[in-house]
Amino acid sequence: MRLGAAGALVDGAYRPGDVEVDRETGRVTAVGVPGPGHGLALPGLIDLQVNGFGGVDFLAADAEGYRRAGRALAATGVLAYQPTLITSEPGQAVTAIAAAAAVAPGAARILGVHLEGPFLSPHRPGTHPVRLLRAPDAELARRLRAAGPVTQITLAPELPGALELVGQLVAAGVTVSCGHSDATAEEAHAAFDRGARLVTHLYDAMRPFAHRDPGIVGAALTRQDVTLGLIADPSHLSPEAIRLAFRAAPGRIVLVTDALAAAGCPDGRYPLGEVEFTVADGVARRADGTLVGSTATLLDGVRHAAEVGIPLERAAAAATSAPAGFHQGRGIGLLRPGDWADVLVLDDGLSPRTVLDRGVPVEP
């Protein structure tokens, strides 16, 4: 079966020609196939930071909620993701991790849970409940990890005990990301030297860059061993901030949504754990005006990055091959002969035309 595309993103680079898929095996059989076509074929998108989607908040989701959210995510082209849990009571977090672990594989596959907290700075909490934040605690981290597959933990590296916990988590195979942090550049470098490899939503909820106090932003942008998560939507970042990150850190950008239960839903009131927020004109804020995550899709982020001047193949790689690098061996973010046919085909206007889950069309 041919997909009718004019080109494809293969290993992060544009390859002219169509893609051929074997429906029986669910795998790609050829790329660069000559013939008529239009639009672009991408590997299935990968979102490492999704708090909820399609009316489902992952802190409170059951199996049916995950199925609904997974179907809604897959329809937008996201075929693999990390459910992300903001700071909550430990018991609630344990229950939520276990719920994610019990979900049967669906169209959008769960890669593991991303814990965004509770080891975050009270000076940069964003929308996290300050009363529930705490200093890094190895025993609590073990309890949370024992509840299910925790693949990423975001913490503030300047907190007491953070560096020791970074080392323990890295040794256990957990990706450590620095975020919601008031860290200086020196404190950030110390965490990166211990093995932290990601920054959670660069620029947002962290010490801002200044020429004599570059903070975590300056440290991360100047290190070749650190990848930067970026929420590329107009309510979070200016075009200049997006362009700066892509130009300063080529190949080290991972686009994320920080999506909420409100994503894919009308404006209105929604929950994020114990936090209530209102969406107006697609922008989510608490009653005090604090920005709360995003209602954009990951494809929206790719398109917006392209609109502000990022070459499309680089923007698309930041939502496919770059995040796949944190989940080696999972068969995601790839579009080569022999790979699973997890494919998003865009039309010439970069809207979804076809989504395949291992060769099977995903219903919108």
Domain ranges of the chain: 1-43+333-364, 45-331
pLDDT at 129 over 90: yes
Average pLDDT of the chain to the nearest whole number: 96
Report helix, strand or coil for 193: helix
Its sign, for the CA torsion 132, 102, 293, 188, is: positive
Under the banding of pLDDT at 50, 70 and 90, the label for residue 285 is very high
SS3 352: strand
Residue 364 has pLDDT above 80, yes or no: no
* Model pLDDT for residues 301-313, shown as the tens digit of each residue: 999 999 999 999 9
Q: Is 246 helix (H, G, I), strand (E, B) or coil?
A: helix
> In the annotation, is 258 catalytic?
yes
Query: Which two three-digit tokens encode residue 147?
Result: 């509840």
pLDDT of residue 89: 97
Is the pLDDT reported for residue 63 higher than 80? yes
Span 153-172, average pLDDT: 98
pLDDT band at 154, cuts 50/70/90? Answer: very high
Catalytic residue among 258, 300, 342, 357: 258
Q: Which fold has domain 45-331?
A: TIM Barrel (3.20.20)
pLDDT value of residue 242: 98
The fold of 1-43+333-364 is Urease, subunit C; domain 1 (2.30.40)
The values of phi and psi at residue 47, to 5°, are -115, 115
Query: Is the pTM value of this prediction over 0.95?
Result: yes
**Proportion of the chain above pLDDT 90, given as a percent:** 96
105: pLDDT strictly greater than 90: no
